[in-house]
A and B are shown apart, each in its own frame.
Chain A
Amino acid sequence: MEFLHYSVRRIAGGIPLILGVTLVSFVLMVYFGPDKTYELLSKNPTAEEIAQVRAQLGYDRPFWVRYGIYIKELATLDFGYSDSTGERVTSILKRTIPVSLALLAPGFVLGNLLGIVLGLVAAWHRGGWIDKTIMGIAVVGMSISFLVVIIAFQVLFGVVLGWFPVRGWNVHDLGSYVHYVTVPTLASVFVALGYNTRFFRAVLVEEMQRDHVRTARAFGAGALEILWKNVLMNAMIPICTRIMFSIPLVVVSGSLLIESYFGIPGVGKVTYDAITSGDQPILKAVVGLTAVLFVLILIANDVVYRAVDPRVDLTGAAPK
């Protein structure tokens, strides 16, 4: 009951955010967006024909009415039909989102796990050559563009070595899944690892300087025990925050590049095609749903805090 009450309050708190995001996307993409009147008209239209098409597209209505219609589309998850294929937007999303999740999940999990492990190792050896080597490689990794990594890995694994396919997504069982998912996963791990390791190391170093870690060392606890129980567990809140908030970015921005480059029919490829062809209904749906996802993560984030740190009280203020 307490939790329900809390969730309702948080969702209510997210409404200004959703309204803001939808307002910005509405103003940019619909109100000042491309005018589709003349695409629907024949040559040399009369004034009445133009007015008729504009009324059909809703261009003659006032700003707030049109914004209200957009909000209603979002609330009822009814975004109409794609401009380019004529397929229902909801059915396109239903088909493509699972593909993107299957494609991105391994890279996301591995990128964060490896980042935490490397961050722990670097933080434990702070100032030593192991730390310096890991952080040096992290800076190099951070300096390479995602696009460059994708192209380089594609050439290396697809053309030079010929181990994995360069394009496509023909997945029907576990073997073919591994076959197609390996190179995209390696590329996304490579790109994320530099940033992740740096962030996790900074958080863990902070935690490692605390008194209870020194006490544990003084009592003769082993390195692994200290790292796991005293450092990692206590640093869970910033770590979880970062991981949770990177989900929308990875799902949308990561899939956009990987899928358009590897020709994988996920939501990122659909979005890429929508950007290049100006397919408004799809873009509206993707932007709107990402905003909703952000708010949901905002709520889920506090619940995760509660799970990793029993001191956190959901009814009161969030922890520092």
Chain B
Amino acid sequence: MNLPIEDPNPGIDSGLQPIGRPSDELPWGRTWSRFTNDRTAMAGFFIVIAFFVVALGVWLGVWGGHWAETTAAQWGPPSTEHWLGTTILGQDILARAVFSTRTAFEIGLVVAVASTLLGALFGALSGYFAQTAIDGVVLWLKGVLDSIPFYLFVAAVAFALDGNPFAMHIAMIATFWTTTARVVRGEVIKLKNLEFVEAARSIGLHPLTIIFRHIVPNTFHILLVQATIVFVAAIKSEVILSFLGLGVQDSISWGLMIAESTTEVLAGHYMNFVAASGFMFALVMGVNLCSDGLQDALDPKRPIR
């Protein structure tokens, strides 16, 4: 994963904020208007919304439910009935790709939310208590998890949980929080020396109250961007893990479709591969564009236009 580089002179212009600005210049309003003015970011945003509607339709049972039915002809070409053709078992490829959208959102959202929460928790603790034993333990844990090769870690978790269908999710959450925690830690070290934290400390608030009521909410912009990055990482990892046989079980996903297609493409049957990789590329691209747009819109050092 790529990380924004560290700010060379942290906290130099924060802390001094004019009071009583017009509402469209409040941080979130400004971010939103910056975001909507960014055309590529908006394109990404609409792609993600479109995919989310597709996933929502699958959840509500509107479409995609018949992905496992093997009623059509084998290796059917694209037709009016099966827009993207059929698989070796006569399953509708479009239905499979559509249903996989739901799988992708489930994996992406679960992993992104859980690992962001975990990263915020550990990052905030190690940042606030920097240079203490708590920081040492969190940094050590991060170092350990970062030095185990990811696919081997997933394999090990899968062994230990003995075929639990959530082994993949657990392994991803257990490894993806480290990047978020590193970024949050840096931000918290910056924030904890500002006046509002000092004020909270001087009226005798408990450190944990200061961390979770006053500091962590101020790292929300970092968490949001990190969550989108983890979302992409989770979807991309699922494909590779499903290929390795460590991923989705008893369902269908783009990873499983691509894994199925590995032998088919050499025989000239491309539809499974094209459908799965096309769907996945569009969603990942959309989230990537959104993520870049968010990063720009949330950058406090960018001048207000």
Q: In the complex, what residue of chain A is closest to B238 when comparing beta carbons?
A: A145
The interface size of chain B toward A, counting residues with CB under 8 Å, comes to: 48
Contact status A25-B156, CB under 8 Å: yes
Q: In the complex, what residue of chain B is closest to A280 when comparing beta carbons?
A: B159
- B243 interface contact, C-beta 8 A: yes
0/1 interface trace, chain A 166-199, chain B, CB 8 Å (1 if under): 1000000000000000000000000000010011
Contact status A253-B156, CB under 8 Å: no
Interface residues of A in 103-129 (CB under 8 A from B): none
What is the minimal beta-carbon distance from A206 to any residue of chain B, in angstroms? 6
- B149 interface contact, C-beta 8 A: yes
Contact status B4-A148, CB under 8 Å: no
Collect the chain A residues with CB atoms within 8 Å of residue B86's CB: none
Contact status A248-B147, CB under 8 Å: yes
Contact status A198-B244, CB under 8 Å: no
Tell me the bound Cα distance from A151 to B263 in angstroms.
10
Is the contact region of chain B dominated by helix, strand, or loop, or is it mixed?
helix
- A275 interface contact, C-beta 8 A: yes
Collect the chain A residues with CB atoms within 8 Å of residue B19's CB: none
A252/B152 contact (C-beta < 8 A), A155-B265, A238-B5, A294-B147 known: yes
- A290 interface contact, C-beta 8 A: yes
Contact status B240-A146, CB under 8 Å: yes
Tell me the bound Cα distance from A291 to B153 in angstroms.
12
Contact status A287-B8, CB under 8 Å: no
A287/B156 contact (C-beta < 8 A), A25-B148, A139-B292, A202-B5 known: yes
0/1 interface trace, chain A 264-281, chain B, CB 8 Å (1 if under): 000000011001101000
- A71 interface contact, C-beta 8 A: no
- B304 interface contact, C-beta 8 A: no
Interface residues of A in 269-318 (CB under 8 A from B): 271-272, 275-276, 278, 283, 286-287, 290-291, 294-295
Q: In the complex, what residue of chain B is closest to A145 when comparing beta carbons?
A: B239
Collect the chain B residues with CB atoms within 8 Å of residue A166's CB: 266
What is the minimal beta-carbon distance from A260 to any residue of chain B, in angstroms? 8
Choice from B146, B148, B152, B262 contacting A275 with Cβ under 8 Å:
B152
A144/B281 contact (C-beta < 8 A), A17-B144, A283-B156 known: yes
Tell me the bound Cα distance from A155 to B274 in angstroms.
12
- B140 interface contact, C-beta 8 A: yes
What is the minimal beta-carbon distance from A242 to any residue of chain B, in angstroms? 9
- B284 interface contact, C-beta 8 A: yes
A143/B284 contact (C-beta < 8 A), A151-B273, A166-B266, A198-B2 known: yes
Choice from B2, B159, B255 contacting A195 with Cβ under 8 Å:
B2
Choice from A24, A142, A272 contacting B144 with Cβ under 8 Å:
A24
Collect the chain A residues with CB atoms within 8 Å of residue B2's CB: 195, 198-199
Contact status A139-B289, CB under 8 Å: yes
0/1 interface trace, chain B 137-153, chain A, CB 8 Å (1 if under): 00011011111111111
Contact status B266-A159, CB under 8 Å: yes
Q: In the complex, what residue of chain A is closest to B259 when comparing beta carbons?
A: A147
Tell me the bound Cα distance from A16 to B137 in angstroms.
11
- A162 interface contact, C-beta 8 A: no
What is the minimal beta-carbon distance from B59 to any residue of chain A, in angstroms? 24
Tell me the bound Cα distance from A25 to B148 in angstroms.
8
A32/B159 contact (C-beta < 8 A), A139-B285, A143-B284, A206-B5 known: yes
Contacts across chains A and B counted by CB atoms under 8 Å: 143
Tell me the bound Cα distance from A256 to B285 in angstroms.
25
- A58 interface contact, C-beta 8 A: no
Interface centre among A140, A145, A256 (most CB of B within 10 A): A145
Contact status A34-B280, CB under 8 Å: no
- B246 interface contact, C-beta 8 A: yes
Tell me the bound Cα distance from A317 to B162 in angstroms.
45
- A68 interface contact, C-beta 8 A: no
- B165 interface contact, C-beta 8 A: no
- B155 interface contact, C-beta 8 A: yes
- A257 interface contact, C-beta 8 A: yes
Interface residues of A in 1-27 (CB under 8 A from B): 16-17, 20-21, 24-25, 27
- B160 interface contact, C-beta 8 A: yes
What is the minimal beta-carbon distance from A281 to any residue of chain B, in angstroms? 14
- A208 interface contact, C-beta 8 A: no
Q: In the complex, what residue of chain B is closest to A205 when comparing beta carbons?
A: B5
A147/B148 contact (C-beta < 8 A), A28-B159, A139-B289, A283-B155 known: no
- A29 interface contact, C-beta 8 A: yes
- B179 interface contact, C-beta 8 A: no
Collect the chain A residues with CB atoms within 8 Å of residue B240's CB: 145-147, 257
Residues of B within 8 A of A (CB): 2, 4-5, 8, 140-141, 143-153, 155-157, 159-160, 162, 232, 236, 239-240, 243-246, 255, 258, 261-262, 265-266, 268, 270, 273, 277, 280-281, 284-285, 288-289, 292
4 extra A-B contacts, CB within 8 A, seeds A148-B258, A275-B244: A17-B147, A143-B281, A151-B262, A249-B150
19 intermolecular pairs with C-beta atoms under 8 Å apart: A17-B140, A24-B145, A28-B159, A29-B160, A34-B159, A145-B236, A145-B277, A147-B258, A148-B239, A154-B265, A159-B268, A238-B5, A257-B243, A260-B244, A276-B244, A283-B155, A286-B152, A290-B148, A294-B146
